């Protein structure tokens, strides 16, 4: 587990989060995402986060957001609280950051605030593992890894990133999040998986969507580890999976 994740949510967390709405990214707990920040409102958000708790919450813009982007387009109800673990400002006032997903949350209400960026009150969503599912969780974990391994191109499978993932004894809940993030699934399915706290249902839903991909090309089954928001010029990008 990385030191960023062991820190978790601060003890004095009051449920209020800074929202960073994005149209094509669903952040999951237990993964690291590279982001490039340049809009003034989000530079303000970043500055405030760096001066306080280092937390920013990634929210998915729902279809139709394009016509309301400068206002308050609708957001997915489930979000992921992330912690800034690396920040590199550029000479032109932009920012490259690494964001580590640490906690699912559900928006309770959006707040009326003076800041240029949006804020909301959320409730944290812990994983739920049904008692009757615990005994078979290890078997399902091995099955999920086997399916995922079959989808990985050989050159990628030999990389340290995937080797670490395939050999670590990660709990099933964490594994479902990492694979849901890494695999090339429709964004709506990723949002659905983020919103599912029940590990059994999350596993079964993920498997339902992974198995058809086995019939296709493995070269298209795996997303780039970091979507289009990732800066391409920095030598530190793309970052690896987190050590959790």
Residue whose C-alpha is closest to residue 71's, from 117, 139, 31, 38: 117
Instruction: Name the β-bridge partners of 107.
Output: 122
- What is the per-residue pLDDT for 62? 85
Instruction: Please list, residue by residue across 185-212, b when 16 or more beta carbons sit within 10 angstroms of its beta carbon and e when fewer do.
Output: bebebbbbbbbbbebbebbebbeebbee
Q: CA 77, CA 153: separation in Å to the nearest integer?
A: 34
Respond yes or no on whether the N-terminal peptide bond of residue 239 is cis (omega within 30° of 0): no
Tokens of 157: 């499978």
Which tokens is 96 given? 């490259």
Report d(CA 2, CA 87) in Å as an integer: 17
Judgement on whether residues 115 and 207 belong to the same structural domain of the protein: no
Residue 31 covered by a domain:
yes
pLDDT of the residue at 229: 34
Quote the domain boundaries for residue 161.
Answer: 131-215
Report the distance separating Cα 178 and Cα 196, nearest Å. 14
Give the pairing of strands 16-22 and 55-60: parallel
pLDDT, position 74: 87
- Give the chain's domain count: 2
Q: Are residues 169 and 120 in the same domain?
A: no
> In this structure, is residue 235 part of a structural domain?
no
Residue 201 confidence (pLDDT): 97
Q: How many CB atoms lie within 10 A of CB 138?
A: 12
Residue 133 to residue 230: CA distance in whole angstroms: 37
Distances (CA, A) of 182 to 152, 179, 185: 10, 5, 9
Same domain membership, residue 97 and residue 16: yes
Same domain, 150 and 106: no
Question: Quick one: DSSP state of residue 241?
Answer: P
Q: Tell me the CATH number at 7.
A: 2.30.130.40
pTM summary value: 0.84
Of the residues 75, 97, 124, the one at which a domain ends: 124
What local confidence, expressed as pLDDT, does residue 54 receive? 96
pLDDT in tens, the chain (244 residues): 455 555 689 989 999 999 999 988 999 999 999 999 999 999 999 999 999 999 999 999 987 655 555 568 889 999 999 999 999 999 999 999 999 999 999 999 999 999 999 999 999 999 999 999 999 999 999 999 989 888 877 666 667 766 677 667 889 999 999 999 999 999 999 999 999 999 999 999 999 999 887 765 444 566 644 333 333 333 333 343 333 2
């Amino acid at each position: 587990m990385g030191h960023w994740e062991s820190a978790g949510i601060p003890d004095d967390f009051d449920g209020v989060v800074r929202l960073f709405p994005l149209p094509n990214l669903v952040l999951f707990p237990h993964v690291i995402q590279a982001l490039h920040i340049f809009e003034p409102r989000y530079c303000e958000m970043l500055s405030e986060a760096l001066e306080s708790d280092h937390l920013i919450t990634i929210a998915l813009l729902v279809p139709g957001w394009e016509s309301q982007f400068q206002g308050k387009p609708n957001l997915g109800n489930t979000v992921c609280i992330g912690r800034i673990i690396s920040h590199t400002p550029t000479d032109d006032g932009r920012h490259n950051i690494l964001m580590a997903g640490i906690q699912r949350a559900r928006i309770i209400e959006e707040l009326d605030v003076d800041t240029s960026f949006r804020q909301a009150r959320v409730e944290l969503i812990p994983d739920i593992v049904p008692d009757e599912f615990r005994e078979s969780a290890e078997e399902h974990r091995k099955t999920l890894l086997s399916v995922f391994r079959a989808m990985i191109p050989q050159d990628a499978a030999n990389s340290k990133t995937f080797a670490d993932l395939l050999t670590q004894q990660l709990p099933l809940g964490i594994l479902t999040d990492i694979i849901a993030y890494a695999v090339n699934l429709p964004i709506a399915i990723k949002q659905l998986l983020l919103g599912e706290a029940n590990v059994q249902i999350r596993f079964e839903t993920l498997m339902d969507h992974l198995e058809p991909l086995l019939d296709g090309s493995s070269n298209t089954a795996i997303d780039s580890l970091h979507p289009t928001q990732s800066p391409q010029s920095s030598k530190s990008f793309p970052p690896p999976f987190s050590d959790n």
